[in-house]
């Protein structure tokens, strides 16, 4: 039975984040930029504007916060889930329901652990679209953390923790839990028409992670939008205040604002993360495969 290092998932998520950060940056900006005359810029328009104004490097604004986030949020949520999954397998109770519950609990733990880094990431990636007098101007994640504590106190580290933890519960349950479900289903079910049977290899990992990424994007979109708007604010608006105001001004569709860049970002991110993670796990001679009952 494999017992992987706890940090393994954080490393895999960090590698994936390095590849998909520009998409994450675009998603945050789409979720926070105000609509004008009922219109909003497309993801490609935001990318073009950012590159034209500050060059290609501007697409990696906030990368240090992203890496800090992965080594807190993702490290805890993936590491905790893998440990819970290992124990469930050993006890013979690795059912779909139990694994989804374990993934949700692990996600909540990760959401709490990664909340400060999430605040920094949202602020650093959306800073350039804020009025100059309202920008945070964090140079990197560490200086941003110091500024956050100095200006808002320890309580500032918990800004948006409710919506962030809710999103993390939904994300881990819908991403990690569904990945194991899709992977096991693919390995179990042959495709008679093509006379094809999936094996535990990179093709199966890619297909299962694509399905998991699509499912997770849709499930998490409402909580993700609320989380981003609460964290980008320097005021004291509660998630309920943000929800009511946004519903009144933009209608229910705002809950899925930025879905396309979120999917474009989360899809490749999910694929890369699981491919990296599966590769890292296979380096362990005690690698095991979970069969969901």
What's the rounded mean pLDDT across residues 259-270?
A: 82
How many domains does one find in the chain?
A: 1
Neighbouring-strand partners of residue 191: 196
**293 part of a folded domain:** no
pLDDT at 127 over 70: yes
In a domain, 227, yes or no: yes
Note the pLDDT of residue 193: 64
Is the pLDDT at 165 greater than 50? The verdict is yes
Instruction: Examine residue 290 and state whether it is found in any structural domain, yes or no.
Output: no
CATH of the domain at 54: 1.50.40.10
Share of the chain above pLDDT 90, in %: 39
Lowest mean pLDDT among 5-14, 33-42, 242-251: 33-42
User: What value does the mean pLDDT of the chain take?
Assistant: 84
pTM of this prediction exceeds 0.95 = no
Would 272 be classed as within a structural domain? Answer: yes
Q: Is residue 287 part of a domain?
A: no
Contacts of 211 (CB under 8 A, 6+ apart): 178, 182
Question: Domain span at residue 178?
Answer: 8-282
Instruction: Name the residue with tokens 């520009």.
Output: 22
Q: What is the pLDDT of residue 28?
A: 76
pLDDT tens profile 98-110: 999 999 999 999 9
**Residue 185 pLDDT > 50, yes or no?**
yes
Triad 260, 60, 275: Cα angle to 5°: 65
Task: Please name the residue ranges forming H helices in 33-160.
Answer: 43-54, 63-69, 75-90, 96-126, 141-152
If pLDDT is split at 50, 70 and 90, which confidence band does 182 have? very high
70 within domain boundaries: yes
CA distances from 284 to 44, 187, 193 (A): 41, 21, 36
Residue 3 lies in a domain: no
Residue-wise pLDDT tens digits, 36-80: 545 666 767 777 777 777 778 888 888 999 999 999 999 999 999
**Buried/exposed 121-145: b ≥16 CB within 10 Å, e otherwise:** bbbbbbbbbeeeeeebebeebeebb
Residue carrying structure tokens 């708007």 = 229
CB atoms within 10 A of CB 225: 26
Q: Is residue 29 part of a domain?
A: yes
């Amino acid at each position: 039975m494999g017992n992987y290092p706890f940090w393994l998932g954080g490393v895999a998520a960090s590698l994936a984040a390095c590849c998909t950060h520009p998409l994450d940056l675009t998603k945050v900006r789409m979720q926070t930029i105000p609509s004008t005359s009922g219109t909003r810029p497309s993801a490609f328009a935001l990318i073009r504007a950012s590159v034209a104004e500050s060059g290609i490097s501007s697409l990696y604004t906030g990368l240090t916060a992203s890496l800090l986030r992965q080594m807190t949020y993702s490290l805890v949520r993936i590491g905790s889930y893998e440990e819970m999954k290992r124990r469930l397998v050993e006890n013979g109770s690795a059912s779909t329901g139990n694994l989804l519950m374990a993934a949700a609990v692990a996600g909540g733990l990760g959401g709490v652990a990664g909340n400060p880094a999430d605040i920094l990431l949202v602020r650093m990636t959306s800073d350039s679209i804020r009025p100059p007098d309202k920008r945070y101007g964090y140079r990197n994640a560490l200086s941003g953390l110091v500024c956050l504590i100095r200006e808002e106190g320890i309580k500032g580290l918990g800004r948006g923790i409710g919506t962030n933890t809710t999103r993390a519960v939904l994300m881990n349950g819908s991403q990690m839990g569904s990945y194991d479900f899709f992977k096991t289903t693919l390995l179990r079910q042959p495709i008679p028409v093509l006379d094809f049977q999936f094996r535990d290899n990179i093709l199966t990992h890619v297909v299962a992670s694509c399905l998991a990424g699509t499912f997770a994007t849709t499930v998490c979109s409402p909580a993700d939008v609320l989380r981003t708007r609460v964290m980008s604010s320097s005021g004291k608006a509660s998630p309920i205040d943000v929800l009511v105001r946004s519903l009144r001004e933009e209608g229910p569709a705002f809950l899925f604002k930025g879905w396309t860049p979120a999917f474009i970002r989360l899809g490749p991110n999910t694929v890369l993360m699981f491919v990296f993670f599966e590769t890292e796990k296979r380096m362990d001679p005690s690698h095991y495969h979970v069969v969901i009952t």
